[in-house]
Structure 1
Amino acid sequence: HYPLNLTMSLLLARTGPQGPTAPGIAANCNKYVLIQEGNSCEAVANQAGVTLDEFYAWNPSLQYSCVNLVIGDSYCVGVS
């Protein structure tokens, strides 16, 4: 796990992903985050205001260790 970086910024988009998405992303996703260097699953979930369990459920291709979080890809952080 990466240390939580409280100064990190997330690029959130409500209209659609800003980068490629992983297979299996939630079909009803309506809020995305573009992963930047230094992001971690825990930090992304916290900054987006969702639980880590929700983040993993909406992005099922992610491993629970978060080792396969890809810089430049968009992940779901909200559903309708």
Structure 2
Amino acid sequence: MDCTGLQADVYVCVGLAAADAPRPTAATTTMAVPSTGATPSPTQEGMVAGCAEFYLVQSGDGCWAISDAQGISLDEFYMWNPAVKTDCSGLQANVYVCIGVA
């Protein structure tokens, strides 16, 4: 996790009440692709080396929905796909993201 943008005297959110937890914006269909040695294409820019499982992002998917459906933490998802950014603004439809490492 990168905190270089953290500024003094600026409020940040550090958690949500259970009722306010993010909800999937669309039904996430599992489209995990186990690695057969070949990396599928196209992939999210900056994906971690050594990715062993991939997910094809669908239109309407969100970072929380993908990580929840794939059984990984949101922190892992962001760590393996840094170009997605921690606000999920870099997530692109029709591009593979990493959902598991070897």
Q: TM-score range by the shorter chain?
A: 0.7 to 0.9
Q: Which amino acid aligns with 2:34?
A: R
Of the structure 1 ranges 58-67 and 5-14, higher mean CA displacement relative to structure 2 is found in 5-14
Q: Does residue 69 of structure 1 match 2:91?
A: yes
Gapped regions of structure 1 (runs ≥ 5)? none
1:24 CA drift (Å):
2.0
User: Normalization by structure 2: what TM-score?
Assistant: 0.68
8 Å CA contact 2:33, 2:53 repeated in 1:
yes
In the other structure, the counterpart of 1:11 is: 31
Give, in whole Å, the separation in 2 of the partners of 1:53 and 1:28: 17
Higher RCO (CA < 8 A, seq sep 6+): 1
Q: What's the secondary structure of 2:84's corresponding residue?
A: coil
| CA root-mean-square deviation | 1.9
Give, in whole Å, the separation in 2 of the partners of 1:79 and 1:37: 24
8 Å CA contact 1:32, 1:77 repeated in 2:
yes
In the other structure, the counterpart of 2:13 is: none
Q: What's the secondary structure of 2:83's corresponding residue?
A: coil
User: Normalization by structure 1: what TM-score?
Assistant: 0.85
1:17 CA drift (Å):
4.5
8 Å CA contact 1:19, 1:72 repeated in 2:
no
Aligned pair count reads 79
Q: What's the secondary structure of 1:55's corresponding residue?
A: helix
Gapped regions of structure 2 (runs ≥ 5)? 1-21
Q: What is the identity percentage for the equivalent residue pairs of Structure 1 and Structure 2?
A: 30
Structure (1 or 2) with the greater strand fraction: 1
